[in-house]
Amino acid sequence: MKFLGPLENQRLSFLLEKAISREAQMWKVNVPKMPTSQNVSPSQRDEVIQWLAKLKYQFNLYPETFALASSLLDRFLATVKAHPKYLSCIAISCFFLAAKTVEEDERIPVLKVLARDSFCGCSSSEILRMERIILDKLNWDLHTATPLDFLHIFHAIAVSTRPQLLFSLPKLSPSQHLAVLTKQLLHCMACNQLLQFKGSMLALAMVSLEMEKLIPDWLPLTIELLQKAQMESSQLIHCRELVAHHLSALQSALPLNSVYVYRPLKHTLVTCDKGVFRLHPSSAPGPDFAKDKSKPEVPVRGTAAFYHHLPAASGCKLTSAKRKVEEMEVDDFYDGIKRLYNEDNAAENVGSVCGADLSRQEGHASPCPPLQPVSVM
């Protein structure tokens, strides 16, 4: 669905009002506990949240699953006094509950595989028993509004009311921009200092900080969203400061010097009658890669990814629009989010490079893609 027009804006306002009401019923003020051997410390909570984030990548699940698992864990820890030795069992049980709530049936991990590959130290029967305890303490009510839900709503409202929001980022679609904010939000959810704020406040603080960098009239839009969400401006200011500090600390933790890796392609581009390049084996020396057809851990990125997907068969044809979308270099959060903005059928001219200025030498040289920085998670 595409959020444009008065009817869609009313729909967004209704979704925001419903989520705010739901959050008010579920949310409890976080009371910091003294670190002892009998209760879970804030640092232990952050560590287990980061572990759940790794499990999300390991089992290729949606970010909504991680967001719900984190919310369930925080709700449970705010309700009961849990011993640290049971924390991993509680966390993996919340993760399994969230997966069964959010994911499609074929994407839900098998319990035995989840218990084995997560190295949680729990058996399947122990996870099921802990799952029953969590459900009883949460009154069997798992449908809560997560910070990610509010991020989707606030971002959609901002894009619909300020179409110029992404003018300074022409290479990013709304869903790709949302994917970037989603990754930042998941990092913030692993910070115990931000537990004092509701999920709606955390999401609005992130959207507000992003709008401040992109448009000059960010403050009126922030006030408008603040009024719709019925929040206090003083809390938003405090939350913005903590979020900005956390994200800046995250950026400063990255290496100062970006590392670039060049992997020459062992192919030569040859044009066909339709003006589309095909790949032919080249005699250029280069590193030997094992012919492993399994999915690589680090995908080919940038221009190299474009050449990697070009067909090597004798028949040259333009890639269909649907195939182009599937082969785009996007963040893993982008898959699925693009449906919010009707980007499934967006046609991008990446199948033909007739006007490209590609230098080629005869016989031994292969095309050199631009150097790409290694991404650090």
Average pLDDT of the segment spanning 149-175: 90
* Residue 362 pLDDT > 50: no
Please answer whether residues 154 and 148 qualify as being in contact, where contact means their C-beta atoms are separated by less than 8 angstroms: no
Give the pTM.
0.67
Q: What is residue 251's predicted lDDT score, i.e. its pLDDT?
A: 72
- How far, in Å, CA of 214 to CA of 305, rounded? 29
Instruction: Tell me the one-letter amino acid at 77.
Output: L
Query: pLDDT confidence of 285, banded at 50, 70, 90?
Result: very low
What secondary structure letter does DSSP report for 217?
T
Percent pLDDT > 70 in the chain is: 64
Handedness of CA 213, 215, 218, 224 (dihedral sign): negative
Q: Could you give the 3-state DSSP secondary structure of residue 261?
A: strand
* Residue 89 pLDDT > 60: yes
Q: What is residue 235's predicted lDDT score, i.e. its pLDDT?
A: 92
* Residue 271 pLDDT > 60: no
Instruction: Tell me the one-letter amino acid at 248.
Output: S
Q: Could you give the 3-state DSSP secondary structure of residue 260?
A: strand
Query: pLDDT confidence of 18, banded at 50, 70, 90?
Result: very high
Q: What is residue 208's predicted lDDT score, i.e. its pLDDT?
A: 95
Please answer whether residues 225 and 157 qualify as being in contact, where contact means their C-beta atoms are separated by less than 8 angstroms: yes
Q: Could you give the 3-state DSSP secondary structure of residue 373?
A: strand
CA distances from 330 to 173, 178, 322 (A): 11, 12, 15
Q: Which residue has the higher pLDDT, 326 or 13?
A: 13
Which tens digits make up the pLDDT trace of 119-131? Answer: 999 999 999 999 9
Which tens digits make up the pLDDT trace of 310-357? Answer: 344 444 444 444 444 344 444 455 555 555 555 554 444 434 333 444
Average pLDDT of the segment spanning 46-52: 95
* Residue 66 pLDDT > 90: yes
User: What residues pair up with 261 in beta bridges, in sequence order?
Assistant: 372
Q: Could you tell me the two tokens for 234? A: 């003083």
Query: pLDDT confidence of 370, banded at 50, 70, 90?
Result: low
With b meaning 16 or more CB within 10 Å and e meaning fewer, what string describes 75-105?
bbbeeeebebeebbbbbbbbbbbbbeebbee
Q: What is residue 120's predicted lDDT score, i.e. its pLDDT?
A: 93
* Residue 266 pLDDT > 60: no
